[in-house]
Amino acid sequence: MAVREIKSGVYWVGSIDWNRRLFDELIPLPQGTSYNAYLVKENQFLRRRR
């Protein structure tokens, strides 16, 4: 798994799988695939609206 800061407080958290060759045993993936997720960190507290 890798973590890369894209912008201040925004991070890409993911992995590259070069060895995966098929998606759902049907679609070829000759160059592998990636798994992506993003993390956004804020210093603000969310306030509940009344």
Q: CA 16 to CA 7: how far, in whole Å?
A: 20
Residue type, 11: Y
Q: What pLDDT, in 10s, does the model give residues 21-41?
A: 998 889 999 999 999 999 998
> Terminus-to-terminus CA distance in the chain, angstroms?
41
> Has residue 46 got a pLDDT over 90?
no
Query: Per mean pLDDT, which range of 2-6, 12-16, 40-44 is the poorest?
Result: 40-44
Q: What pLDDT, in 10s, does the model give residues 11-21?
A: 999 999 999 99
**Domain boundaries defined on the chain:** 2-40
Spatial contact of 1 and 15, defined as CB atoms under 8 Å apart: yes
**pLDDT for the residue 45:** 63
Q: Which residue has the tokens 């799988």?
A: 17
The structure's pTM equals 0.60
Cβ neighbours for 2, distance < 8 A, ≥ 6 positions apart: 12, 13, 14, 15, 16
> Has residue 42 got a pLDDT over 90?
no
